């Protein structure tokens, strides 16, 4: 039994005595204890060693007081499970030496046995679940198919995702084959995460905003909906397609339980676009965590008054950045606890 199930009740649309709060990338580089482990173990060692991943996952629960844990992992474990090499070079971001270009490349991708290939994530979830001992819910996650395709085709981060979009626009049948393969293994993976202890799962479509509204409907939305539909009887699903305010209306009518909102959508507009029909999560500008604490508190109060305390999960509009002082992160969380009490 969970001692604090605010997040899950908010996702079910139930009234909560106060707004739950967590932060994307809350287990990350702004925490000195994370930096100590980072100095000793490289990125994929941290991800692939359940004891390390669990320890990192728990750090912000103890140190910042968030209402949920999100497993420390990476969205690029899926390309790895599909058979592609992923390198993570300090300060340079991820890179994939071999990219997807042809039918042959796609045919060679594995989509079976997600639970076998990513057993280390499942072990990390089980271990974290045990160590949490019911304090707060545990969130599993995966990248959305469009975002994973971006990396698999482009081979590294990009401002414009030209190559990924060129692939989609010139070889749409191949793109859809690839998106479907990613979707299939992601569904298995997320189901396995729930079986291993995740109370809810979030799907990060970090690069959905590179697509026009029309292309989002072709290359991103159908696969997000497939995942949401496949998971809905397993656990509540939170979709976070960053930069796609234009899709909020459609996604609010989906089987998802929650929608992540980035900071470029005004809270009241997000409520209007989603017709008050779904739990919203977000959307504090991560850069505002660099402002003085009184400014943070003021902005949190405004955010909550605009979203309202019902069907709302306070979060950032994107991941917390490494340069945020821990006491600023804690001030954000504390302000939600203070101003997020339901009236």
Rule CB under 8 A: choose which of 292, 325, 341, 342 binds a second copy. Answer: 292
Q: Return the SS3 of 207.
A: coil
Rule CB under 8 A: choose which of 323, 325, 338, 341 binds a second copy. Answer: 323
Bridge partners, 143 (sequence order): 204
**Residue 73 Cβ, how far from a second copy at the closest point, in Å?**
22
Of 181 and 328, the one with the shorter C-beta distance to a second copy is 328
Q: Is 108 in the site for a second copy (CB under 8 A)?
A: no
Point out which span in 76-84, 108-116, 135-143, 158-166 binds a second copy (CB under 8 A). 158-166
Distance CA 222, CA 229 (A): 10
Bridge partners, 259 (sequence order): 239, 280
Q: Is 166 in the site for a second copy (CB under 8 A)?
A: yes
157 phi, psi to nearest 5 deg? -65, 155
Helix runs in 29-171, H state only: 32-40, 43-48, 50-63, 77-81, 103-107, 114-117, 119-132, 145-154, 162-170
Q: Which of 140, 138, 169 is nearest to 153 (CA)?
A: 169
Q: Is 161 in the site for a second copy (CB under 8 A)?
A: yes
Of 196 and 265, the one with the shorter C-beta distance to a second copy is 265
**Residue 288 Cβ, how far from a second copy at the closest point, in Å?**
6
Point out which span in 30-38, 50-58, 159-167, 196-204 binds a second copy (CB under 8 A). 159-167
Q: Is 159 in the site for a second copy (CB under 8 A)?
A: yes
**299 burial level (CB within 10 Å; 0-12, 13-18, 19+):** middle
Q: Is 213 in the site for a second copy (CB under 8 A)?
A: yes
DSSP secondary structure letter of residue 208: G
Rule CB under 8 A: choose which of 291, 298, 301, 310 binds a second copy. Answer: 291
**Residue 213 Cβ, how far from a second copy at the closest point, in Å?**
4
Q: Is 162 in the site for a second copy (CB under 8 A)?
A: yes
Question: H/E element holding 6?
Answer: helix 6-11
What does the longest C-alpha to C-alpha distance in the chain come to? 59
Rule CB under 8 A: choose which of 212, 276, 277, 305 binds a second copy. Answer: 212
Dihedral of the alpha carbons of 245, 319, 91, 141, in degrees to the nearest 10? -90
The residue count for binding a second copy (CB under 8 A) is 36
By CB under 8 A, name the binding residues for a second copy. 159-162, 165-166, 169-170, 209, 211-215, 243-246, 263-266, 269, 285-288, 290-292, 295, 302, 317-318, 321, 323
């Amino acid at each position: 039994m969970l001692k604090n199930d605010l997040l899950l009740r908010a996702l079910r649309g139930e009234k909560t005595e106060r707004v739950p709060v967590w932060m994307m990338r809350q287990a990350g580089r702004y925490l000195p204890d994370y930096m100590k482990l980072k100095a000793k173990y490289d990125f994929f060692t941290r991800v692939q060693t359940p004891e390390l991943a669990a320890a990192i996952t728990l750090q912000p629960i103890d140190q910042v007081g968030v209402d949920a844990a999100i497993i420390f992992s990476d969205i690029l474990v899926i390309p790895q499970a599909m058979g592609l090499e992923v390198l993570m070079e300090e300060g340079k971001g991820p890179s994939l030496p071999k990219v997807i270009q042809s039918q042959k490349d796609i045919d060679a991708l594995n989509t079976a046995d997600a639970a076998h290939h990513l057993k280390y994530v499942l072990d990390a979830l089980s271990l974290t679940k045990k160590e949490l001992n019911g304090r707060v819910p545990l969130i599993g996650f995966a990248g959305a198919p469009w975002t994973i395709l971006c990396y698999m085709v482009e081979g590294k981060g990009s401002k414009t995702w030209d190559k990924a979009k060129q692939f989609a626009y010139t070889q749409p049948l191949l793109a859809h084959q690839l998106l479907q393969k990613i979707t299939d293994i992601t569904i298995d993976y997320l189901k396995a995460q729930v079986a291993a202890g995740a109370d809810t799962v979030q799907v990060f479509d970090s690069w959905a905003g590179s697509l026009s509204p029309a292309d989002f409907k072709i290359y991103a939305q159908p696969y997000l909906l497939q995942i949401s539909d496949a998971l809905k009887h397993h656990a509540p699903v939170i979709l976070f397609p960053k930069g796609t305010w234009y899709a909020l209306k459609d996604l609010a009518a989906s089987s998802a339980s929650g929608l992540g909102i980035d900071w470029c959508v005004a809270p009241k507009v997000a409520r209007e676009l989603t017709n008050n029909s779904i739990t919203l999560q977000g959307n504090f500008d991560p850069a505002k965590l660099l402002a003085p604490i009184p400014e943070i508190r003021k902005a949190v109060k405004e955010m909550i008054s605009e979203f309202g305390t019902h069907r709302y999960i306070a979060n950032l509009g994107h991941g917390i950045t490494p340069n945020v002082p821990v006491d600023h992160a804690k001030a954000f969380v504390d302000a939600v606890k203070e101003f997020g009490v339901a009236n």
